[in-house]
Amino acid sequence: MLLKNFDVTLRYAKELDEEDFLAHFREEFYLKPGSIYMDGNSLGLLSKRAERTLLESLEDWKEHGIDGWTQGKHPWFFLAEELGEKLAPLVGGSAEEVIVTGSTTVNLHQLVSSFYKPEGKRTKILADELTFPSDIYALQSQLRIHGYDPDAQLIRVKSRDGRFLEEDDIIEAMDETVALIVLPTVLYRSGQILDIKRLTDEAHRRGIVIGFDACHSVGSIPHSFSEWDVDFSFWCNYKHLNGGPGGVGGLFVNRKHFGRMPGLAGWFSSAKEKQFDMEHTLTPALSAGAFQIGTPHVLSAAPLIGSLEIFTEAGIGNIRQKSLKINRYLMDLIDSELADMGFIIGTPREDARRGGHVSLEHIEAARICKSLKENGIIPDFRAPNIIRLAPVALYSSFEEVWEVVQILKKIMAEKQYEKFKNEREVVA
């Protein structure tokens, strides 16, 4: 369904920008002149506030040394908990259920170590064939640690079309042999949102623990993890949350699991009041903080302090509203301007099933991505045939989206892509 009064003119794009209630946040970010950034679903841009809080944290270190744990602008000892409290509204959890720590795959290892308890016939882990490879590597590794053959014990639900997953197929695979389920909230290739509540309800009806990789949704769509009774979730903070390259990750643990001993215990798993007792018996925190392992990555977390200020002001509901509108506009333009040029939109059309990016499929995708970069557009390529485009609610404009489609149209009409090899670069 087209946007109201849609047309393909630049004038219409500018009208949409005039109506944009988040447009003023664009000034918060460092935008490169002569370039249009469409890869915020891989790495979000630097904001001026994130830069400020990183520099403030460096100043804390410079000024206070070891006393930075309890002094300075952003003291370190409770930093992970304070950031968790700011993140909690974005994932629909309480402050105690969210902690900023580790990285995506380290946090997945921690959570599987804590929640995968094979017993009797229940020995298998259920995932899907479209999930990000790092999750599969971690799950295979955890099965090997328990002495199992991943080929036999890791179930990967098949996609019917190579793009999307059907919840019915996932539920059908939830049999009496499954001990744990780990699924994405949003599929990284197609941008499909899974029905998290339905899948959680069905898993619990069968006595199965279920967790979600939210890397491609946190900061882009609202969540209600506590309300949906999700057991756990984990994510990175450098995509839609603009926390910086390699930035510290985050995790959610449902409060019903508080008091559980973490599978991978460490110093920062401790209750805060006991941490410096230096006892050889761990007293785990009665919160998601128990699932930390080591010392917080302070300088990695520091940009997130400033970034989350912006999300608090903008509101995740407003961000989602703009994201849906600007991505719908992108798809409408593609349908109108590129329909006869071999492009296929590989993203769900329904708002409720679509995350924060659009996947554009083409047989020459790798070459087209190189042409886009040559023309000042920063896209994302996923083999073998996907161009991911992510207009980001906080800093992308409708005029930029219009320009991207016009440049794509020119690239195809002039066959600019033919001078490049149809293969990915070292970093896609």
Which residues are bridge partners to 182 per DSSP?
A: 211
**Does 132 appear as a known binding residue?**
yes
Cβ atoms of 123 and 148 within 8 Å: the answer is yes
- What secondary structure, in 3-state letters, does the chain show? CCCCCCCCCHHHHHHHHHCCCCHHHHHHECCCCCCEECECCCCCCCEHHHHHHHHHHHHHHHHHHHHHHCCCCCCCCCHHHHHHHHHHHHHCCCHHHEEECCCHHHHHHHHHHHHCCCECCECEEEEECCCCHHHHHHHHHHHHHCCCCHHHHEEEECCCCCCCCCHHHHHHCCCCCEEEEEEECECCCCCEECCHHHHHHHHHHCCCEEEEECCCCCCCCCCCHHHHCCCEEEECCCCCCCCCCCCCCEEEECHHHCCCCCCCCCHHHECCCCHHHCCCCCCECCCHHHHCCCCCCHHHHHHHHHHHHHHHHHCHHHHHHHHHHHHHHHHHHHHHHCCCCCCEECCCCCHHHECCCEEEECCCHHHHHHHHHHCCEECEEECCCEEEEECCCCCCCHHHHHHHHHHHHHHHHCCHHHHCCCCCCCCC
**Does 402 appear as a known binding residue?**
no
**Does 24 appear as a known binding residue?**
no
Of 320, 216, 223, 248, the residue nearest 50 (C-alpha): 248
**Does 380 appear as a known binding residue?**
no
**Does 238 appear as a known binding residue?**
yes
**Does 133 appear as a known binding residue?**
yes
Cβ atoms of 45 and 427 within 8 Å: the answer is no
**Does 70 appear as a known binding residue?**
no
Measure Cα distances from 411 to 108, 237, 264, 372, 414 in Å.
41, 33, 51, 8, 5
**Does 161 appear as a known binding residue?**
no
- For residue 71, which amino acid is it? Q
CA angle, residues 356, 361, 365, in degrees to nearest 5: 110
Cβ atoms of 99 and 88 within 8 Å: the answer is no
**Does 123 appear as a known binding residue?**
no
Task: Pick out the residues of the known binding site for pyridoxal 5'-phosphate.
Answer: 104-105, 132-135, 213, 216, 238, 267, 295
Residues tagged in the binding site annotation? 104-105, 132-135, 213, 216, 238, 267, 295
